[in-house]
Amino acid sequence: MYHLLLLLLVLLPFATADAHAAAFCNNATCGGQSIAYPFWLANSGPNCGYPGLGVSCNENTPILDVQFHQYRVLRIDYANRAVSLADVDAWNTTCPRLSFSLSVDPRSSLQLTPSNSNLTLLYNCKAGVSRPSAVKLDGCPEQSMAWYVLPDDDGATGDARAYGCEEAVTTPVLMSPRRPANPSLREALSGGFQMRYDDRSERCGACEQSGGRCRYGRIEEHGGTGFACVCDDGANKLRGCTLLMLEETKIV
């Protein structure tokens, strides 16, 4: 009896920790945008969704860090596993001073979709950029020399020195049928771009239908980390809670 009591005292903190983690992994809302698995609110803990998909809610604005740069979350399309983002440096301004060129790691859970095109912004150019499609930006407060914008179909290299400029920043923009035929730079950048996230999140739907909650953490079946379906008893399962309960009943 003494040994049984001791065992319960040892296991109880772990069960409580699992239940505590599950409670903080509930879906949330920020700025009217639902934040659900595989995304998670940054203050809810790293085990609520996939690494790199933690969303911070800053002044009721959802922000996602991609490669240590901040992007506004415009929309998460859970049905198509896509997220629309806009560079915070380019939000709602006619004179965007971008500082980061997005280059996606092929191993990342976020990948750019074919719906995007690229814009290259050239800053502090000593001479005129001799490209037919180059658009000069005038009247910007931070502007000491000429700024230009080059579209994707111009064949821009992203090398500032090739144009006699101090800096070149390339950013994706979403080319949607709903966009104007010739959007302004402000419209194009504020409209953001689209990324697709890992389709492993499909398992979350079956988990939620079985009464479980989706999270990312340690899996009891094999002891590794990955997708987990947290059941009411606090257990982390690879599959749905109801399905596992039925399988366990058959075994008994």
pLDDT digits (tens, 9 = 90+) for 171-223: 999 875 444 445 678 888 999 999 998 766 567 778 878 888 788 766 555 55
Least confident of 4-8, 29-33, 163-167: 4-8
CA dihedral (92, 96, 99, 105) positive or negative:
positive
What pLDDT was estimated at residue 172?
Answer: 93
Per-residue pLDDT, averaged over 63-78, amounts to 94
Cis bond leading into 38, ω under 30°?
yes
The one-character DSSP state at 128 is -
User: pLDDT: is 197 or 2 the higher one?
Assistant: 197
User: pLDDT: is 8 or 227 the higher one?
Assistant: 227
Tell me: pLDDT of 7 over 70.
Answer: no
What pLDDT was estimated at residue 173?
Answer: 92
User: Looking at the DSSP assignment, which residues form a beta bridge with residue 147?
Assistant: 137
Q: What are the E-state strand segments in 61-115?
A: 61-66, 69-77, 82-87, 110-112
- Amino acid identity of residue 66, one-letter, is V
- Amino acid identity of residue 142, one-letter, is E
